[in-house]
Chains A and B, each alone.
Chain A
Amino acid sequence: MENEGQEKEPEIVTEVNLKEDFQASGVADILAELDDSLIGLTPVKTRIKETASLLLVDKAREKLGLVNESPTLHMSFSGNPGTGKTTVALKMANLLFRLGYVRKGHLVTVTRDDLVGQYIGHTAPKTKEVLKKAMGGVLFIDEAYYLYRPENERDYGQEAIEILLQVMENNRDDLVVILAGYKDKMDKFFESNPGFRSRIAHHIDFPDYSNNELLEIAEVMVASMNYQFNEESKKAMAEYIKIRKKQPHFANARSIRNAIDRARLRQANRVFNSSEGPIGASFLSQIEDIDIRQSRVFSGGIDK
């Protein structure tokens, strides 16, 4: 019964206007947003632009009857923590929606726990539930390599992988799967699961941020929370980044976010202790260098 629905009279199209399609789809807005809202990540942005134009051209070819197979859209994002994989996945879902490759464009973020069950017979319904929730949108599997645990042969992860592969193949029009995780672990994962490798068309690497990019990110984050740096605190932040980057558990933008959160805490404390009488908005939103320099990082300790 599956294909009986496509009985509509095919419209006869002999030419397409790519520029017009591009305008109409609203993809330009998303790409511009991607450029504005994400700092750095140039290779990622380039890849996404390439993918977007490929998909746009594919849609046009489909209109002209040059292709009838829908392209494989499953992707893998590899990179260190805090390099913007989830953020880009969100944008990607929106992009695919605008281009008409997914019907709803929502993003469902899951990890191993959401897919793999705890006892026999628990995994399949759990995985299917998640897949159904993601249909019409994008399923984002964070740290996907944890699905496969070769050291435990009775691990239920394999079952989840099999269902996932089956749905990725049979319901290609219904959902797009994005796998994400550290580069080396992802590579190992693909090596041991060739089924995944062949079903994923786009591999995108997320590079680490440079110090300047991280500082820029810090400024954007601070501004979005309605705070501001001055010259000294900016300098302190730059120094903080330099030191923090060499320490273990550095998670790029996420570490910066945490550092700012702690700086806000110290700022609030300082403001509360020092203020007597009425104070203005600018005083409340000013982050001084002392707020940052009090961090354990400067005294050789580690910020989590």
Chain B
Amino acid sequence: MRVTQGTFSFLPDFTDQQIHEQVQYCIDNGWAVSIEYTDDPHPRNTYWEMWGHPMFDNPDAAAVVYELNECRKVYGSYYIRIIAFDSSPGWESIRLSFIVNRPSEEPGFKLSRTEVKGRNIQYSITPYSSDKPQGSRYK
């Protein structure tokens, strides 16, 4: 099951060229671009691991694509996303976030229903992959 979170996630995966253009758009708007990765695709997992610092002073998107490829070398089977932070309101807020790398196989989520008081039902989802310990979820 394809994980769809962030912008562009219903589109086919971007090529490096397309990533470059999107990132350049962010940089030209004055946003700081950062690369993050995780192997826990749960939608409530907001804080992914950072790949280096957010790049505040790179005028060209090639630097981000370069770092992305470095990240792929290490975490090629993880989810990797690119996040653009806008500091103009006075704090860093996310303007754009999109997934640029995903595992070749995405097993999807398990939906579990729990019957609680008054025959109400509580739903929760768990990624099948998170049964395994961190670091060994995707090969």
Asked whether A155 is an interface residue with its Cβ less than 8 Å from the other chain, the reply is: no
Q: How many residues of B contact A (CB 8 A)?
A: 16
Contact indicator per residue, chain A 114-140, by CB within 8 Å of chain B (1) or not (0): 000000000000000001110111000
Residues of B within 8 A of A1 (CB): 15-16
Tell me if A5 and B18 are in contact (CB < 8 A).
yes
A103 to B24, CA, bound (A): 11
Cross-chain contact of B55 among A6, A132, A171 (Cβ < 8 A): A132
Give A1-26 interface residues, CB cut-off 8 Å to B.
1-2, 4-7
Asked if A174 contacts B60 (CB within 8 A), the reply is: yes
B134 to chain A minimum Cβ distance, whole angstroms, is: 25
Q: Is B43 an interface residue (CB 8 A)?
A: no
Determine the chain B residues whose CB is within 8 A of the CB of A5 once the complex forms.
15-18, 20
Complex CA gap A6/B59 in Å reads 22
Residues B17 and A6 in contact, CB atoms below 8 Å apart: yes
Partner of A4, one of B16, B58, B60, B69: B16
- How far, in whole Å, are A185 and B68 apart by their CA atoms in the complex? 37
Bound-state CA distance A131–B65 (Å) is 13
* Bound CA span A175–B57, Å: 16
A104 at the interface (CB under 8 A from B): yes
B binding-site residues for A, Cβ under 8 Å: 15-18, 20, 55, 57-63, 66-67, 69
Interface of A with B (CB < 8 Å)? Answer: 1-2, 4-7, 103-104, 106, 131-133, 135-137, 171, 173-175
29 A–B contacts from the bound complex (CB under 8 Å) = A1-B15, A1-B16, A2-B69, A4-B15, A4-B16, A5-B15, A5-B16, A5-B18, A5-B20, A6-B17, A103-B60, A103-B62, A131-B63, A132-B58, A132-B63, A133-B57, A133-B58, A133-B59, A133-B63, A135-B58, A135-B63, A135-B66, A136-B60, A136-B61, A136-B62, A136-B63, A137-B59, A171-B62, A174-B62
